[in-house]
Amino acid sequence: MDKYIPKMYKKSILDINYDTLKEKNIKCLMFDLDNTTLKVHKSIPKKEICDLIKKLKINFKVFIISNNTSKKRLSVAADCFGVEYVRFALKPFSRGFRKVKNKYNFSKDEMCIIGDQIMTDVLGGNRYGIYTVLVDPLSNDELKVTGFNRFFENRKLKVLAKRGLFKKGEYYG
Ligand SMILES: [Mg+2]
């Protein structure tokens, strides 16, 4: 059950204490794109998000890692941030994580995934053995495939809340 529970949970990527991640010796931050760093129906990220990621690049190697297959969408956003991206990452499977790990020779305990979905970002990261951070989605608008994942996520959330293990809106870490 704990593979569905993030190590850290914050309202948005703007609320994360990145010094804490640095103290944990994390060197590689992999951000999900849709509804984590960019609203689903927007193509250009907000300035405050771009500014944050640019600042993070001083202390971390930063990536956008997305299940989205659109090269155009990924490249426009990644260009705004000035970072590399992996599309078609197949989270919760390890394809995208492995790509980053192998290219830069990170160890798993130096890597962190930050995303808005339990069934892809958190489950994928926990299974792969890296640090996981969950944030709330930037908007209620979602892709069709995400609606499908949310159905399972909501069922999982009910069980986790019932057992007192995790509750949406109760931030920690
Ligand atoms: Mg997402």
In a domain, 168, yes or no: no
Quote the pLDDT of residue 152: 93
Enter the pTM of the model. 0.96
Is 167 a member of any domain?
Answer: no
120 and 6 in contact (C-beta within 8 Å)? no
Q: Which domain holds residue 80?
A: 2-162
Is position 138 within any domain? yes
103 Cα–ligand 1 center, Å: 23
H-state helical runs in 57-163? 71-81, 95-104, 123-128, 144-162
Ligand 1 mean position, distance from CA 121 (Å): 8
pLDDT bucket at 142, cuts 50 / 70 / 90: confident
| Position 14 in a domain | yes
pLDDT digits (tens, 9 = 90+) for 53-68: 999 999 999 999 999 9
Distance from C-alpha of 21 to C-alpha of 28, rounded to nearest angstrom: 10
Q: Environment class of residue 37 by beta-carbon count within 10 Å: exposed (0-12), middle (13-18) or buried (19+)?
A: buried
Tens of pLDDT along 92-137? 999 999 999 999 999 999 999 999 999 999 999 999 999 999 999 9
Residue whose tokens read 């914050």? 10
Residue 20 lies in a domain: yes
In a domain, 149, yes or no: yes
CA of 129 to the centre of ligand 1 (A): 19
Residue 1 scores a pLDDT above 70: no
CA 34 – ligand 1 centroid, Å: 4
Question: 35 CA to middle of ligand 1, Å?
Answer: 5
Ligand 1 centroid vs 138 CA: distance in angstroms? 9
Q: From CA 114, how far away is CA 24, in angstroms rounded?
A: 15
Which CATH number is 44's domain given? 3.40.50.1000
Whole-number Å distance, alpha carbon 25 to ligand 1 midpoint, is: 25
Q: Residue 148: pLDDT above 90?
A: no
Please state, rounded to an integer, the average pLDDT across all residues of the chain: 96
Calculate how far, in angstroms, residue 66's C-alpha sits from the geometric centre of ligand 1: 8
Q: Is residue 172 part of a domain?
A: no
28 belongs to a structural domain: yes
Structural domains in the chain (count) = 1
